[in-house]
Amino acid sequence: MSVLTNNLDLFLSAFGQTLQLFAVSAVLSLVLGTFLAALRVSPVPVFRGVGTMYVTVVRNTPLTLVFVFFVFAYPLLDILRIEPYTAAVVSLSLYTAAFVCEVVRSGINTVPVGQAEASRALGLTFTQMLGNVVLPQALRSVVPPMTSTMIALLKNTTVASGFAVVQAGNIREQLADQGDNVLIGLLWVALGFVILVMPLTYVQQVFEKRWSVAR
């Protein structure tokens, strides 16, 4: 307990930064991922191609390489100066958006084709059909996989510790500098992530129960 109590401010500050990084990246990745899913089911071949290419490239690129690009390579382009925290948000958001896209697309595929056909027969545009008819039904079936994606995002925030972004991943290094027991500190970090994951799991169960659909 002494490792935790003697460094309580460190743990609270680091996990606070982790939560902030997670929250911002989650919102951005959900928005971008949903947009990419719309591109992938678009009736326009060019849009479908762009969405497919993005997902294929990003999903097969290690997250660390995405960080390396935005932290080290992007500044060399001299377009816009970004801080390490901003680079971490952009990297996590762009990377996670590819997985969110596939989750949303899989949910869209569960909606009967007749729903889209009926919408078009009523004169709705593709955007109106997707936003008012298909997506509300699709979101009901993507709660469990989307929660898993968000949990993966939460754990992926630790990658930012290797790129000058202070959060839970830096606790080990700071404990080592102070001469504290690093192993015990890592066990507390692991427990902290378990505690953070529990609310996400609870939210999943609540929405899954509320949005359950008899099939």
Residue 52 lies in a domain: yes
Instruction: Please state, rounded to an integer, the average pLDDT across all residues of the chain.
Output: 80
Residue 186 lies in a domain: yes
Identity of the residue numbered 138? A
Q: Which long-range contacts (CB under 8 A, 24 or more apart) does 129-135 make?
A: 130/38, 130/41, 134/108, 135/34, 135/104, 135/108
- Domain extent for 125: 2-210
- For 153, 156, 165, 196, the CA distances from 171, given in Å and listed in that order, are 19, 15, 12, 16
How many structural domains is the chain composed of?
1
**Mean pLDDT confidence for 71-77:** 79
pLDDT interval class at 98 (50, 70, 90): very high
Q: Give the separation between CA 94 and CA 110, rounded to whole angstroms.
A: 25
- For 40, 84, 90, 207, the CA distances from 81, given in Å and listed in that order, are 32, 10, 13, 40
Query: Could you tell me the pTM of the whole model?
Result: 0.81
Residue 215 lies in a domain: no
Q: What is the DSSP string of 186-199?
A: HHHHHHHHHHHHHH
pLDDT interval class at 94 (50, 70, 90): very high
CATH number at residue 40: 1.10.3720.10
Which pLDDT score, from 0 to 100, does residue 215 have? 45
Which pLDDT score, from 0 to 100, does residue 122 have? 76
**Mean pLDDT confidence for 200-212:** 75
